[in-house]
């Protein structure tokens, strides 16, 4: 057991998929894995391990935001020896040509979180995906005929922002989408020599205000999880 994860040693696979929502982790485990065990119920942040095409894979909720995800990622790597972490989550599009349901592989992540400024003494750090996971993710998505974009995203500390236009300068500089976790995930993976990738589905557009229907969300989620499990 670690402070926030109730697993016994050996119950967590070396590869962990991290949806934000723990019930989504349960759904992935039940629909895509066989021989499933539940290794965590602490704080309702459900985690499961099972088998996908003969590969042992875990899936666990990360919660929302860099602080929450960072607690779990620290413990998964340091206490359970996890070496590959793939976030499978949603994002808001910042570019007009990105539509609800589109898939994004986050090559790097800007952020307004202060965690890295504190960590690096006020200097900026560029949190970056693992190249091999990124390449494999791209290949698997393309082989399935999926419209996939690779590029920079933004990890925001606030979902609700007083300044409605805050994102425009990032859009101008090519940032594809906003979510709330990837800069934290990539930084911790780098610190501990682990591999990380965020696979994201556009759930809404900050540009147009469009939002995914529950059917579109469902489809996007399953696709991301399958791609992540294939490249694991």
Rounded distance, CA 110 to CA 169, Å?
Answer: 12
Any contact of residue 185 with ligand HPA (CB under 6 A)? Answer: no
Q: Which of 5, 20, 6 lies closest to 217 in space, CA to CA? A: 20
Give the per-residue contact string, 195-224, with ligand HPA (x = CB under 6 A; - = no). --------xx-x------------------
The least distance separating ligand HPA from the CB of residue 54, rounded to whole angstroms, comes to 33
Choose between 17 and 178: whose C-beta lies nearer to ligand HPA.
178
Handedness of CA 49, 52, 57, 62 (dihedral sign): negative
Report the SS3 class of residue 73: helix
Sole window of 74-82, 87-95, 144-152, 207-215 interacting with ligand HPA (rule: CB under 6 A): 87-95
The least distance separating ligand HPA from the CB of residue 183, rounded to whole angstroms, comes to 12
CA dihedral 40, 46, 49, 50 (to 10 degrees): 140
Sole window of 77-85, 106-114, 124-132, 177-185 interacting with ligand HPA (rule: CB under 6 A): 177-185
Q: Which of 180, 196, 212, 229 binds ligand HPA (CB under 6 A)?
A: 180
- Annotation says 112 is catalytic: no
Any contact of residue 101 with ligand HPA (CB under 6 A)? Answer: no
Choose between 91 and 106: whose C-beta lies nearer to ligand HPA.
91
Choose between 73 and 206: whose C-beta lies nearer to ligand HPA.
206
- The active-site residue, picked from 21, 112, 157, 204, is 204
Choose between 7 and 180: whose C-beta lies nearer to ligand HPA.
180
Q: Which of 59, 86, 105, 178 binds ligand HPA (CB under 6 A)?
A: 178
Largest distance between two CA atoms of the chain: 48
The least distance separating ligand HPA from the CB of residue 204, rounded to whole angstroms, comes to 5
Q: Nearest residue by C-beta to ligand HPA?
A: 92
Beta partners for 199? 88, 105
Rounded distance, CA 228 to CA 90, Å?
Answer: 14
Rounded distance, CA 51 to CA 66, Å?
Answer: 28
Rounded distance, CA 105 to CA 111, Å?
Answer: 16
Rounded distance, CA 215 to CA 128, Å?
Answer: 31
Handedness of CA 90, 187, 65, 231 (dihedral sign): positive
Binding site for ligand HPA (CB under 6 A): 90-92, 156, 159, 178-180, 203-204, 206
Name the residues annotated as catalytic.
204
């Amino acid at each position: 057991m670690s402070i926030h994860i109730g697993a016994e040693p050996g119950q967590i696979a070396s590869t962990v998929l991290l949806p934000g929502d723990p019930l989504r982790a349960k759904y992935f485990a039940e629909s895509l894995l066989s021989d499933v065990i539940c290794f965590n119920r602490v704080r309702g942040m459900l985690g499961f391990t099972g088998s996908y095409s003969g590969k042992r894979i875990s899936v666990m909720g990360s919660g929302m935001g860099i602080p929450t995800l960072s607690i779990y990622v620290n413990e998964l790597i340091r206490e359970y020896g996890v070496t590959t972490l793939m976030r499978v989550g949603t994002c808001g599009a910042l570019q007009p040509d990105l539509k609800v349901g589109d898939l994004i592989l986050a090559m790097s992540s800007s952020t307004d979180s202060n965690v890295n400024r504190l960590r690096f003494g006020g200097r900026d750090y560029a949190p970056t995906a693992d190249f091999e996971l990124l390449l494999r993710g791209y290949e698997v998505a393309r082989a399935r005929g999926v419209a996939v974009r690779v590029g920079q995203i933004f990890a925001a500390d606030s979902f609700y922002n007083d300044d409605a236009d805050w994102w425009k300068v990032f859009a101008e500089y090519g940032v594809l989408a906003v979510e709330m976790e990837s800069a934290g995930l990539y930084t911790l993976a780098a610190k501990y020599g682990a591999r990380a990738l965020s696979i994201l589905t556009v759930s809404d557009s900050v540009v147009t205000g469009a939002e995914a229907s529950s059917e579109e969300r469902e489809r996007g989620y399953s696709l991301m999880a399958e791609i992540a499990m294939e490249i694991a």
